[in-house]
Structure 1
Amino acid sequence: MRTSIFGLALFATTAIATPLHAEELGGGFNLSGNAALVTDYRFRGVSFSDEDIAIQGGIDIEHISGFYVGTWASSIEDSPVFGHTELDIYAGWSGEVASGLSLDVGILAYLYPNGNVGDADYVEPYASLTYAIGPAEVTTGVAWAPSQNAIGNDDNLYVYSDIGIGIPGTPVSVGGHLGYTDGSLSVDPDGDYWDWGLSAEAVFGMLSVGVAYVSTAVDGPGTDGAVVGTLGVSF
């Protein structure tokens, strides 16, 4: 399931895990969906909604073999280049490769169907490893966007590490994130920057409530530290 606050991760990684409310389609396929209202759409620490509220949602189809496809969308700050909507389409495979160790690998296309100036769409392969240690999960991942017109005919590398810990006996989980961007998608003139965050989430059946502190090493509007709230539903 695609999420937003930490780019590839908010309170979970991009690994597709069948939600509790997934609908069985037969033939080993499951359908699930999600929707959220966030106080700020932060992608790799940077606000894509001009530090304003964003509406988000997605649909995933997963096979018991581990293969999955999905789509996710969010409202963004309206601009001539990007329009007012981001639409992501992704596909990949996720599964356990050793005891307690899971691999997720795939490709994601970032599409901006309302943009009127140039071509802002680009693709980005990704991979991550997640290791479970008791109530904690540690994820290390990488996303690499090869040279494309939309990102200035240069490539971009994003590496990150996340930790999530479920508090036993409660619906609450806490998490931490550290990410590093190097390349054409950097918001720093030097061509690279760090982002980080801390989060907490409580899940009540289909509903979830979360809060996160997100920041980057870049000073300026949309990159400074911010507290972001999330109200979500999964089905």
Structure 2
Amino acid sequence: MRSILVGSTLLAAALYAAPVLAQDAPASDFTITGGATLTSDYRFRGISQTDKNPAIQGTLGVSHSSGFYVGTWGSSIDDYVAAGSDQEIDLYAGYKKTYDGTTVDVGLLYYYYPGPSGNTDFFEPYANVSRTFGPVTAKAGLNYSWKQHALSCGLCSSAREDNLYTYAELSGGIPGTGVSLTGHLGENWGRSYLTAGLKNYTDWSLTAAYTWKNLTFSVAYVDTDFKKGEAVDFSGKNVAKGGVVAAIGVAF
């Protein structure tokens, strides 16, 4: 727990207000956050996970003043993503701290897909660094997955692949409007479950969000550099084609 230093003046005031302050709970070093989102499409690194259909998502996290945190995030998905599963549940733990204005965040993700197959789950360590320059925040990060059974290239061979995802983002708010803008550019180094013989691809997005009380409304344009027919689901739909994604979320 945090140490609390009380000066003589504050102590005197506390004595006079004892009947009131005695009912106040001490500040906790733990913070609990959560939320739910309804989105018109769940895009993961530019590729739709819901066959371009809506998704329901939720999150719950616990953080400590030391910088350590744990949490979970989940979304509905289409069954082509993970061998018939219709859910993605991400479990994560990490450490986040700010040093001289630069925030460092490192941790480990576990992607869990409930369903008949046990070969679709995998681990992914991550790290990112962010810093604010006036009204703009710059962020750069990477996620790496070593060779695991779930990272086999399902449409090309049974060979297992490692995978590296790197990205950069710029974000900032428009003063007096409640609107924020975020630009994202990412590069996937390695095969994915939909990219067959292709090794790398680029994704990008531009998102505008408006926050009112505990509600956030957002609209984004998401795209990749896949050519027609290079990233399709099992029904032949191009799930990496550029498109608009709208969402509404509530935080608590």
Q: Same fold (TM over 0.5)?
A: yes
Q: What's 2:76 paired with? A: 75
**Aligned ranges for residues 93-104 of structure 1 at < 5 Å?**
93-98=95-100, 100-104=101-105
Kept after mapping to 1: 8 A contact 2:151/2:193: no
Note the alpha carbon deviations across 1:10-48, whole angstroms, 9 max, x for none.
Answer: xxxxxxxxxxxxxx9964111010110000000000000
Query: C-alpha deviations, 1:50-104, integer Å up to 9, x for none?
Result: 0000000110100011110000000001247141000000000111022x21000
Does the Cα contact within 8 Å between 2:205 and 2:222 map onto a contact in 1?
A: yes
How far apart are the structure 2 equivalents of 1:219 and 1:25?
58
Kindly indicate whether residue 166 of structure 2 is the aligned counterpart of residue 159 of structure 1.
yes
Match of 1:85 among 83, 87, 107: 87
Whole-angstrom distance in 2 between the partners of 1:170 and 1:200: 12
Please give the secondary structure, in 2, of the residue aligned with 1:158.
strand
CA deviation digits over 1:88-146, x for unaligned, max 9?
00000111022x210000000000012x2351000100000001011111100000001
Query: 5+ unaligned residues in a row in structure 1: which ranges?
Result: 1-23
Secondary structure of the structure 1 residue equivalent to 2:150:
helix
**What does 1:129-168 correspond to in 2, within 5 Å?**
129-152=129-152, 153-168=160-175
Alignment pair present for 1:195 and 2:212: no
Question: For residue 125 of structure 2, what is the amino acid of its counterpart?
Answer: P
C-alpha separation in 1, matches of 2:110 and 2:26: 25
Partners of 1:180 and 1:82 lie apart in 2 by 27
Amino acid at match of 1:191: K
Amino acid at match of 1:172: V
Q: Which amino acid aligns with 1:138?
A: A
Map of 2:176 onto structure 1: 169
Pairwise CA distance, 1:175 = 1.0
Give the root-mean-square deviation of aligned CA atoms.
1.7
For 1:39-54, list aligned pairs within 5 A. Answer: 39-54=40-55
Task: Give, as a single letter, the amino acid of the residue that structure 2 aligns with 1:109.
Answer: Y
Residue 5 of structure 2 aligns with which residue?
A: none
Letter in 1 for 2:95: W
State how far apart, in whole Å, the 2-side matches of 1:26 and 1:148 are.
43
Q: Distance in 2 between matches of 1:103 and 1:35?
A: 26
Moved over 6 A (4+): none
Stretches of structure 2 that go unaligned for 5 or more consecutive residues are 1-24, 153-159, 229-237
Residue 109 of structure 1: aligned partner: 110
Does the residue aligned with 1:83 lie in a helix, a strand or coil? coil
Deviation string, structure 1 residues 165-203 (Cα, Å, up to 9, x no partner): 111111000110000001132743321100001110000
Are the aligned partners of 1:187 and 1:193 in contact in 2 as well (CA < 8 Å)? no
- Residues matched between the structures, number: 210
Alpha-carbon distance in 2 for matches of 1:44, 1:25: 42
- Larger CA Rg, structure 1 vs 2: 2
SS at match of 1:78: coil
Name the structure with the higher strand share. 1
In 1, Cα distance between equivalents of 2:145 and 2:239: 22
Given that residues 109 and 123 in structure 2 are in contact (C-alpha distance below 8 angstroms), is that contact kept between their aligned partners in structure 1? yes
Q: In the alignment, is the contact (CA less than 8 A) between 2:185 and 2:202 conserved in 1?
A: yes
Most deviating of 149-158 and 71-80:
71-80
1:205-224 aligned at under 5 Å gives the runs 205-220=213-228, 221-224=238-241
Compared CA separation, residues 44 and 176, structure 1 to 2 (3 A) = same
> Bigger relative contact order, structure 1 or 2, given CA contacts below 8 A and separation 6+?
1
C-alpha contact (below 8 Å) 1:82/1:112 kept by paired residues: no
Contact 1:95 1:104 survives alignment (8 Å): yes
